[in-house]
Amino acid sequence: VRCAASDGEDGNGDEFYMRRCVELARKAVGCTSPNPMVGCVIVKDGKIVGEGFHPKAGQPHAEVFALRDAGGLAENATAYVSLEPCNHYGRTPPCTEALIKAKVKKVVVGMVDPNPKVDSKGVDRLRAAGVEVRVGIEEELCKKLNEPFIHCMLTGKPFVCLRYSISINGHFSSGLGPGAAEVGGYYSKLLQEYDAVLLPSTSLTEKSLFLTSQEPGANQPLRIVIARGPDIAVDLPVLTADDSKCKVIVLTDGAGVGSKSSASGIETVVLKKMSLDVILDYCKSRGLLSLLIDWSEDLSEYEELLREGIKRNSLQKIIVEVLPILTEGDEGNASAAGVRLGMSNRIKLKEVKAVACNGSVILESYI
């Protein structure tokens, strides 16, 4: 027995096992794109007899690993899955058939799969085969788990989060500095959640440290450097110096791409235009579901991307870190209030959450 429902009651037990599915799914955080994170447990007589999660696109789904783990004990058992079992042939065969073949009696599903290829067809198939199905257990938790996947399935665009740090009097904090060191653990966790992080080509060495997730075995997001002109070649080696595990790609609109940038061994992609939608199309073409825009004053010449993001509903989340520092408003400390977002009305943010971290306050919100 690996673990059992703490209360032993049927109704609450379902929630307990679903939370375990989510916990298992998160073992592959940052590693499954373009697929979702999914966890599965097989329960028989109040005991977990099999567990599994989806490790990576192209590899078997969570249900397959859990069924393998349970072996013959899956017969007449209940399978809990954080996402509806698929009923289609993708890179792997349908999980519905695997569950039916293993003769599970009941399937408890966290949420319906928004993938139009699935979209309740998995549930229908199981019911048609005489399997009892319960849908929508710990649904909010299951949805939070796969925010980027769901967003991408529904809109066709990757999930975008804008983050930046400001001093208490509203200046962007350049190069992150000591304030960010104190909240390093927060960014370390945040980074591993994202498939890519967008940066200016002028990122500083000290800053690179905070762009590498320090979590053991963590996914390191692809570093997308945006650049116009010859400055690319100058700073890029600095960006890669700290951690060779991080892949770097330069996206440029072509203006002034020098031969030096290709000599640095870093892939350069020339976009037809420097726009957020074009960057997101590029991300999608690489199977990336999420992008973290690491905003700083170094990106001030790209403010247009933010205006486009607001106008085209391409920004989903904003994370602002307010540092306990006072800064002087000279040229080196641009004011966050100076950024023109091009809105006709103010936007009220949703689901706002404040996290206190070593004297800094981190505000997480949705647009």
Active site residues: 63
Q: Does 306 bind ligand AOF (CB under 6 A)?
A: no
Q: Is there a contact between 229 and 268 (Cβ–Cβ < 8 Å)? A: no
Non-local (6+) Cβ contacts of 117 within 8 A are: 86, 88, 90
Q: Which is nearer to ligand AOF, 157 or 207 (CB)?
A: 157
- Which of ligand AOF, Zn ion, none sits in contact with 14, Cβ below 5 to 8 A by type? none
Q: Does 147 bind ligand AOF (CB under 6 A)?
A: no
Q: Does 86 bind Zn ion (CB under 5 A)?
A: yes
Least spacing, CB of residue 109 vs Zn ion, in Å: 12
3-state SS, residue 257 = coil
Which tokens belong to 161?
A: 């989060």
- Which of ligand AOF, Zn ion, none sits in contact with 118, Cβ below 5 to 8 A by type? ligand AOF
- Number of chain positions touching ligand AOF (CB under 6 A): 18
Which of 45-54 are b and which e, b meaning 16 or more Cβ less than 10 Å from the residue's Cβ? eeebbbbbbb
Q: Which is nearer to ligand AOF, 115 or 316 (CB)?
A: 115
Q: Count other Cβ atoms within 10 Å, centred on residue 154.
A: 10
- According to CB under 5 A, which one of 25, 40, 48, 95 is a site residue for Zn ion? 95
Q: Which is nearer to Zn ion, 93 or 175 (CB)?
A: 93
Q: Does 158 bind ligand AOF (CB under 6 A)?
A: no
**Residues of this chain, 107-136, that bind ligand AOF according to CB under 6 A:** 113, 115, 118
Least spacing, CB of residue 144 vs ligand AOF, in Å: 16
Per CB under 6 A, which region of 88-96, 123-131, 224-232, 353-361 contacts ligand AOF? Answer: 88-96
**Residues of this chain, 54-73, that bind Zn ion according to CB under 5 A:** 61
Q: Which is nearer to Zn ion, 97 or 303 (CB)?
A: 97
Question: Across the strands, what pairs with 224?
Answer: 198, 249
Q: What is the DSSP letter of 115?
A: S
Q: Is there a contact between 163 and 317 (Cβ–Cβ < 8 Å)? A: no
- Number of chain positions touching Zn ion (CB under 5 A): 3
Beta strand extents in 201-294 (DSSP E only): 222-227, 248-252, 267-270, 290-294
- CA-closest candidate to residue 195, choices 37, 38, 53, 353: 37
Q: Which is nearer to Zn ion, 63 or 294 (CB)?
A: 63
Which tokens belong to 315?
A: 């920004």
Q: Which is nearer to Zn ion, 100 or 160 (CB)?
A: 100
Non-local (6+) Cβ contacts of 226 within 8 A are: 198, 199, 200, 201, 250, 251, 252, 274, 279, 299, 302
**What is the C-alpha separation between 197 and 283, in angstroms, rounded?**
11
**What is the C-alpha separation between 261 and 265, in angstroms, rounded?**
8
Q: Which is nearer to Zn ion, 86 or 319 (CB)?
A: 86
Q: Does 317 bind ligand AOF (CB under 6 A)?
A: no
Binding mask 28-47 for ligand AOF (x = CB under 6 A): -------xx-x---------
- Which of ligand AOF, Zn ion, none sits in contact with 298, Cβ below 5 to 8 A by type? none
Per CB under 6 A, which region of 57-65, 184-192, 234-242, 332-340 contacts ligand AOF? Answer: 57-65
**What is the C-alpha separation between 202 and 175, in angstroms, rounded?**
10
3-state SS, residue 226 = strand
Closest CB to ligand AOF: residue number: 90
Distant-in-sequence contacts of 231-235, Cβ < 8 A, 24+ apart: 231/201, 231/202, 232/201, 232/257, 232/258, 232/260, 232/261, 232/268, 233/258, 233/260, 233/261, 233/263, 233/264, 234/201, 235/201, 235/202, 235/203
**Secondary element (H or E) of residue 278:** helix 276-285
Least spacing, CB of residue 142 vs ligand AOF, in Å: 12
Least spacing, CB of residue 35 vs ligand AOF, in Å: 4
Per CB under 6 A, which region of 91-99, 102-110, 157-165, 335-343 contacts ligand AOF? Answer: 91-99
Least spacing, CB of residue 13 vs ligand AOF, in Å: 22
What residues make contact with ligand AOF under the rule CB under 6 A?
A: 35-36, 38, 54, 57, 61-63, 83, 85-86, 90-92, 95, 113, 115, 118
